[in-house]
Amino acid sequence: MFVRHGIPGETVRVVVTSESKSFLRGDAVEVLEASPDRVPPPCEYARPGRCGGCDFQHVALDRQRLLKASLVEEQLRRLAGVSLDVLVEPAPGDVDGLRWRTRVQFAVDAHGRAGLHKHRSHELEPVDFCLIATSEVEEVGAERLPWPGAASVEVAAAGAQRVVSVNGRVQDLPDVEAGVVVNGRPRRVPHGLVHSVLGRSFEVAAGGFWQVHPGAALTLASAVLDGLAPGPEDTAVDLYAGVGLFASLLGERVRSVLAVEADARACADAARNTHDQPNVRIRTAAVDAALVSRLPRPDLVVLDPPRAGAGLEVSRALVGLAPARIAYVACDPASFARDLRVFLDAGWTMPSLRAFDLFPMTEHVELVAVLTPPGE
């Protein structure tokens, strides 16, 4: 049975919310014996049956990271056959686990009211504020404004820059102090955001992907560069390259970089972000086993797939490609552990694995693993 709003070791009364043939899901609606790590949730919406955005607001922050570490350890044991003690490291930029989300997407109901979905539901929880959103996002006030005809509203911020992206059959737009994009079409500047990491600037169009924690890009980039230890004669491939964060930073340190990304809009951003680096090539293509198997053997690979992971076929193709080092950036421990097993079965090793708390108050955790082939 999977129980939200409880802590391992507690005795609670649970209301079952869904069931399958093999497990139940439920909410802890009454705590009979509380954990010493239980704290009052700072947000009034973080309650059973209400907003589904935060899993752990009732858990002290240090215990949250221990829970995430145990989750990673369990998936590594179960799926990869690896026994490893994991430390989840904090990232700079949040305030006691709050005020870290630089991009928030709100759903909009039939009355034009913005809100967040309930847990595992399409039902909307109208909210007046979000405590994990940054103050710059909250200053737009999207939750407190009318959005007639809209289906969703996304607010993204980078410092003083803010962009609101609206989708749906939009009627009258409220006045906001931000750039505005409606159904992908710019209405008011700015149409995107500019981020800075390790001395380089990165432009991201409205609706494009960028890590939501303000310290995430620097934390992950530093971990990848430390793990790969790039040299001036190395060649590198960046798979699932997004807007070119890793490709651009590697381009300052290696002889050449090939960045591969399926999303054309992200590739356009990546091209802008590497315009001054002739040694970096951007290729618009889906990352699959056929593409990987045709690549010239690089010295270094960055692998940053979506939540589903790289997959067994791509992992096997990378084993055959045999680069000297791979930095695997993963946002899902289970898919990472499944892929890791492919490398380990082929005789590869994992000299380092780091875990980062880039999503405080939730169950999510980000991993950066370094993988090396036999003989390296």
| DSSP-derived 3-state class of residue 206 | coil
Active-site residue, from 43, 54, 267, 331: 331
**E strands, 131-213, in order:** 150-158, 161-168, 179-182, 185-188, 192-197, 200-205
Other C-beta atoms within 10 Å of 106: how many? Answer: 21
CA atoms within 13 A on the CB side of 305: 19
Please give the Cα distance from 118 to 263 (Å, whole number).
Answer: 29
Asked if 207 and 165 touch (Cβ cutoff 8 Å), the reply is yes
Numbers of helices and strands, H then E, in the chain: 8, 20
Kindly provide the b/e burial profile for residues 147-165, where b requires at least 16 CB atoms within 10 angstroms of the residue's own CB.
bbebeebbbbbbeeebbbb
Query: How far apart, in Å, are the Cα atoms of 77 and each of 73, 80, 130, 225, 343?
Result: 6, 6, 36, 27, 15
Give the Cα-Cα-Cα angle 220, 327, 70 (nearest 5 degrees): 70
Kindly provide the b/e burial profile for residues 22-50, where b requires at least 16 CB atoms within 10 angstroms of the residue's own CB.
eeebbbbeebeeebebbeebebebbeebb
Please say if 331 is a catalytic residue: yes
Q: How do strand 11-19 and strand 24-33 relate by DSSP bridges? A: antiparallel
**Catalytic machinery residues:** 331
